[in-house]
Amino acid sequence: MEKILVTGATGQLGSELKVLSENYSQYEWFFADRTAISLNNIKLLKEQLELIKPTIILNCGAYTAVDKAETETELADVVNHLAVEVLATYAKEHGVKLIHISTDYVFDGTSSTALNEDAVTNPINVYGATKRAGELAAMVVNPDVLIIRTSWVYSRFGNNFVKTMKRLLQERDTISVVNDQIGSPTYAADLAQAMMEIVTAQEWIPGIYNYSNEGEISWYEFVLAIQEITGDSCEVSGIPSSSYPTPAARPAFSLLDKSKIKEVYGVTVPDYKESLRKCLKFKV
């Protein structure tokens, strides 16, 4: 029986894969938290992989504290770059399939059209730079790695934008949300499903793929969509990014073109509102 190792198992995507795993009993599943798989300790990571002996690795673990990464540069680089290189090397040496999750933050945000997998990368923050370094390192040591870039991930699990905004819409009379950063959200349950469609596909076709839900919106419009579903009466106003300064810069435009994953693997990509409704049916 093939063994699937899921890193970052307690995160949003890892948690959704755990739910989904019940539909894939043909695999042995190993859900690894930070103690079972130490992405921040390269030497230990190598030993842990040899113990677990996976035949498929779904790398959902990452250093994702975008603002904190500006000061915790070394830690972000170990987790997002050097650990990914170790996973890719292990996968190469043992004939293991590796799906690695990356980010829209590898782009600088200057595009005005949806970004495909060949678009020029130019990260504008440490998080994006370390994630891009991880992509490059993985592809150098293992050309058979499959990378999925995603954006604005949310879920019923963990802390995320949807949960925070749902709470604020209930607690406050007014909230202000950035309206000049454009992209598309990703419901982690949809991404988990796409990953399993790739894992179970008849042919493994490596490379970089994009995945997010369909739609082109700002964070402000995303909150309006949440409000539309919840029915909360809070007043929501849009503000420019300059009115909400953060330690790390964010790309102003990072909409991902999903044509490749749809064509190569036949993956269905739901509309963002449809997926948002599904998520909000849970008590998030």
- By annotation, the residues acting in catalysis are 127
Q: How far apart are CA 224 and CA 218, in angstroms?
A: 10
Q: Which residues, in sequence order, are CB contacts of 263 under 8 Å at separation 6+?
A: none
Q: How far apart are CA 245 and CA 239, in angstroms?
A: 11
Cβ neighbours of 36 (radius 10 Å): 14
Alpha-carbon distance values, 273 to 174, 226, 232, 279 (Å): 23, 9, 17, 10
Q: How far apart are CA 183 and CA 268, in angstroms?
A: 19
Place of tokens 């999925």: 148
Q: What is the DSSP string of 95-148?
A: T-EEEEEEEGGGS-S--SS-B-TTSPP--SSHHHHHHHHHHHHHHHH-TT-EEE
Q: How far apart are CA 122 and CA 126, in angstroms?
A: 11
